[in-house]
Amino acid sequence: MPTYQAPLRDTRFLLNEFLEIGKYRNLPGFENTTPDLIDAILEEGGRIAEEVLFPLNQSGDEEGCHFDNGEVSTPKGFKEAYKTFTEGGWAGLVADPDYGGQGLPRVIGSAFVEMICSANLSFGTYPGLASAAYAAIKKHGSDDQKNTYLPKLANGEWGGTMNLTEPHCGTDLGLMRTKAEPQDDGSFRITGTKIFITAGEHDLTDNIIHLVLARIPGGPEGVRGISLFIVPKFLVNGDGTPGIRNGVVCGSIEKKMGIKASSTCVMNYDDAVGYLLGEEHRGMRAMFTMMNEARLGVGIQGLGLSEVAYQNAAAYAKERLQGRGLKGVAAPDKPADPIIVHPDVRKMLLTMRSFNEGARALALWMALQTDLAERHPEESVRRDADELVSLMMPIVKAYLTDMGFESVNWGVQCFGGHGYIREHGMEQFVRDTRITQLYEGTSGIQALDLVGRKLPAHMGRSLRQFFHPVDAFIRENMSDPAMKDFVLPLAKSFARLQQATAWIAEQGLKDPEQAGAASADYLKMFGHVALAYMWARMARISNEKLADGAGDRDFFEAKLMVGRFFMTKTLPDTSALLSKITAGAAPLMAMDADAF
């Protein structure tokens, strides 16, 4: 049976020492974020993840969701766990206190989200989608809509969904067919079929607030004619309670590779009452404002699954006795040595761990930037943060999930044949992680967003939001001998990233297929460099702590060792990526489609 312990020590380090969130006490929501309060939240959140959610992860996968005539029931124990979760106020951790939330910064909320994803990704999708609906209504709703829906979404009494995909359109929403007919009373009647609707139907909440993209007849063609609607499963009575059933029903649930305890629904809207959210024909724009948050969340899913896979692989490697060390017997009192004596086993574990700790730093850094973009008093700080987040989100989403998937597979590999057996739980992590590379925009779509939209944004100023601090860091630390193992490889890979960026800018201008051909390799290279930057910054702090003679030397020494692994054993991939990028589009485009 797998185990899980919330990574409290590392998270504390990142929040307090790496991001120094104590510096932001002047920001709303940050007022009380003392190290003590952070500790209390992380510990209690960790306990919920470890003791309430994680024990249901395997059983939820085995049992899956049940569909019966439009009704969906979640696996055994999910209702009780959801009750514990919502009663503890965890559903509204970052929600506005005006609507009953805890009002905490997203950077703290994100640390908790990682724990949920490690413990039980399927479970996490239910409050996760409710949060997304909360955020959309918060941002685009009328006061009346906010008052009606936000308190119930924030306290977890009601669930929420996002309805975009239709059978014939996933990535290309311009093909959408779902219709919204205007009614005399200002409401709309929604008709159409949506697929892949996470948490579309379930038994955890009294009501489900569907946010649905649909076309108002007579509007423009393509994505410019799409509007966003609130479609509650039960129409809301004047007193705020759920009333009569609306014309929306779950037609079936998908049989999937993983996240089997998360219901993935076909939703049939048949003359369902809907209320316009935001402006007519501006539904896509409203959706897009939510996308940074959603992509950060999915990136963190990749991290969370990689973390729990690492913990179990490391425990197994220390415990499993097979053969002897290459230099001779390491454990003479035992019939064989634990497999962690082998360099290749350590390589697999360190590949996972150096990704996890680097990815956690990147995700929380970006989460803090979303807080700053929203809450900082200075406009220029808000703008810079927003641009940095926009630039980095496709990378966070695709890189953390692609690398997360590789990582959980290393975890299986550490177990040998036992990794393939369900009871050990490792193969479930692989199946669950696999969805993260697909939903909320595939990795390929993220890469196109990066090269097509984000690189040229604001005449390259968005890009400079990342390049300038990296450049400054390299200059500042170049002459520090203690930083040599970190700054030299960072500088080398950063130079490659600059070279690749220039190549794409130049070639892509002449031929957009050159940018498209380079996009996936470029995103991966960017992700590697971003993690190298995280590692170099973490190394500097660790060096300082060790030089200061501060406590917890083991923690900081391990940081340096794990970081050195990343620099020498993962980062060199940037050299191959540069070759592939500059090889151009011709090898991809030469062949006729028929010849495939």
Catalytic residues: 440
Residues 370-399 that bind a second copy (CB under 8 A): none
430 contacts a second copy (rule: CB under 8 A): yes
**Residues 6 or more apart whose Cβ sits within 8 Å of residue 366:** 296, 388, 389, 392, 393, 396
Name the nearest CA neighbour of 95 among 155, 46, 22: 155
Binding-site member from 138, 353, 524, 537 for a second copy (CB under 8 A): 353
Residue for token digits 């990066």? Answer: 450
Does residue 286 contact residue 137 with C-beta atoms inside 8 Å? no
Handedness of CA 369, 371, 376, 378 (dihedral sign): positive
Question: Is 431 near a second copy (CB under 8 A)?
Answer: yes
In whole angstroms, the minimum distance from the beta carbon of 241 to a second copy comes to 35
The verdict on 1 binding a second copy (CB under 8 A) reads no
Which residue lies nearer to a second copy by CB, 40 or 509?
509
**CB atoms inside a 10 Å sphere around CB 271:** 12
Helix/strand/coil for 162 = strand
**Residues facing residue 214 across a β-bridge:** 227
Q: Are 428 and 412 in contact (CB under 8 A)?
A: no
Sequence-distant (≥ 6) Cβ neighbours of residue 332 within 8 angstroms: none
In the shown chain, the binding pattern of residues 117 to 156 toward a second copy, with x for contact by CB under 8 A and - for none, equals: ----------------------------------------
Measured from the CB atom, is 110 or 543 closer to a second copy? 543
Q: How far is the CB of 236 from a second copy (least distance, A)?
A: 31
Smallest gap, in angstroms, from Cβ of residue 490 to a second copy?
A: 15
Long-range contacts of 77-84 (CB under 8 A, 24+ apart): 78/123, 78/204, 78/261, 79/203, 79/204, 81/52, 81/53, 81/56, 81/123, 82/123, 82/126, 82/127, 82/156, 82/204, 82/205, 84/48, 84/52
Binding-site member from 230, 309, 345, 491 for a second copy (CB under 8 A) = 345
Choice from 185, 186, 327, 479 touching a second copy (CB under 8 A)? 327
CB 255 within 8 A of CB 205: no
Beta bridge partners of 164: none
**Is the Cβ–Cβ distance between 354 and 398 less than 8 Å?**
no
Q: Choose between 147 and 322: whose C-beta lies nearer to a second copy.
A: 322
Query: Using the rule CB under 8 A, is 350 a contact of a second copy?
Result: yes
Site for a second copy in 406-425 (CB under 8 A): 409, 412-413, 416-423
Amino acid at 509: L
Rounded to a whole number of angstroms, the minimum distance from the CB of residue 147 to a second copy is 35
Is residue 220 close enough to count as binding a second copy by CB under 8 A?
A: no
405 close to 436: Cβ distance less than 8 angstroms: yes
Binding of a second copy by 509 (CB under 8 A): no
- Report the relative pairing of strands 179-182 and 188-198 from DSSP bridges: antiparallel
For tokens 């299986």, what's the residue?
A: 412
218 binds a second copy (CB under 8 A): no
**Distance separating alpha carbons of residues 337 and 16, to the nearest angstrom:** 39
* The pair of three-digit structure tokens given for residue 162, joined into one six-digit string: 């996002």
Exactly one of 97, 220, 240, 587 binds a second copy (CB under 8 A); that residue is: 587
Site string for a second copy, 539-568 (x = CB under 8 A): ---------------x---x--xx-xx--x
User: Total number of residues binding a second copy (CB under 8 A)?
Assistant: 96
- Distance in Å, CB of 455 to a second copy, minimum: 14
- Write the single-letter amino acid at 321: L
Kindly state the smallest distance separating residue 548's Cβ from a second copy, in Å.
21
Look up residue 326 and give its DSSP letter: T
Subset of 168-197 contacting a second copy (CB under 8 A)? 168-172, 174-175, 196
Residue closer to a second copy by CB (options 53, 520) is 520
Q: Does residue 439 interact with a second copy by CB under 8 A? A: yes
Considering only residues 296 to 325 of the shown chain, the ones binding a second copy according to CB under 8 A are: 314, 317-318, 321-323
Taking the least distance from each CB to a second copy, the nearer of 94 and 562 is 562
The residue within the footprint of a second copy, chosen from 249, 448, 532, 538 (CB under 8 A), is 448
Backbone angles phi, psi at 555, to 5 degrees: -60, -50
**Contact string 513-542 vs a second copy (x = CB under 8 A):** x-xxx-xx----------------------
- Contact range with a second copy by CB under 8 A, out of 15-23, 276-284, 436-444, 468-476: 436-444
Q: Does 63 bind a second copy (CB under 8 A)?
A: no
Smallest separation, CB 116 to a second copy (Å): 20
From candidates 19, 372, 447, 463, binder to a second copy by CB under 8 A: 447
Residue with tokens 């994803």: 117
**DSSP-based three-state secondary structure for 558:** helix
How far is 54 from 49, CA to CA, in rounded Å? 6
Within residues 101-120, the interface with a second copy by CB under 8 A covers: none
Positive or negative: CA dihedral 569, 575, 580, 581:
positive
Nearest distance from C-beta of residue 516 to a second copy, angstroms: 4
Examine residue 335 and tell whether it contacts a second copy (CB under 8 A).
yes
Nearest-angstrom CA–CA distance, 553 and 548: 10
In the bound complex, what is the minimum distance in angstroms from residue 258's beta carbon to a second copy? 8
- Asked whether the CA dihedral 278, 280, 283, 288 is positive or negative, the reply is negative
Our CB check for a second copy shows the closer of 412 and 487 to be 412
**Site pattern 252..291 for a second copy (x: CB under 8 A):** --xxxxx---------------------------------
